[in-house]
Amino acid sequence: MSKIALFVGGGGFFRSFISRFKKNSKIDKKMIFLLLIVSLCVCSKAEVTDVQIPEIWKDKVERGDALYSKDQSGGLMPEVGNGYLASVVTSDTIYVAGMFSGDARGLYGDVSHRARIPSYHVVPTLNQSQGFGRVLDMENACFERLTSLENVTLFERWYAPLQEKHLLVHEMHFTSLTDDDSITVELILQETKESDDLNVTRVDIGVMNGTQRVPETPDKYTIISYARSTSIPTNVTLKPRESLQISLLTAIAIKSEPNDPEPIDVVRALIDKYEHTNTTETLFIGHRDMWNRRSEYGRIEVAGDLNLATAVNASLYYLRSSIRKDNFFGMSPGGLASDGYHGHTFWVRTIQNYSLSLLTRFIRSGPRDVDVSSYASS
The alpha carbon of residue 281 and the mean position of all alpha carbons in its chain are separated, in whole angstroms, by 19
Task: Give the 3-state secondary structure of residue 137.
Answer: strand
Spatial CA neighbour of 296 closest among 63, 60, 10? 10
- Side-chain-side CA neighbours of 363 within 13 Å: the count stands at 21
Cβ neighbours for 336, distance < 8 A, ≥ 6 positions apart: 79, 81, 83, 85, 86, 95, 97, 321, 322
The DSSP secondary-structure symbol of 324 reads B
Taking the CA atoms of 108, 110, 111 and 114 in sequence, report the sign of the dihedral they define.
Answer: negative
- CB count within 10 Å of CB 45 equals 10
What residue type is assigned to position 7 of the chain? F
Q: Which pLDDT score is estimated for 354?
A: 59
| Contact in structure between 89 and 79 (CB atoms under 8 Å) | yes
Q: Which pLDDT score is estimated for 13?
A: 26
Q: Which pLDDT score is estimated for 186?
A: 94
Spatial CA neighbour of 290 closest among 338, 324, 243? 324
Q: What backbone phi and psi angles, to 5 degrees, belong to 129?
A: -85, 180
**Average pLDDT per 10 consecutive residues for the chain, totaling 378 residues:** 42 31 37 38 42 90 94 82 96 96 85 96 80 91 92 95 96 94 94 95 94 92 94 94 94 94 96 77 91 82 92 89 83 88 80 58 46 42
Q: Which pLDDT score is estimated for 52?
A: 84
Domains in the chain: ranges and CATH: 1-44+298-378 (no CATH), 53-274 (2.70.98.40)
pTM, 2 dp: 0.83
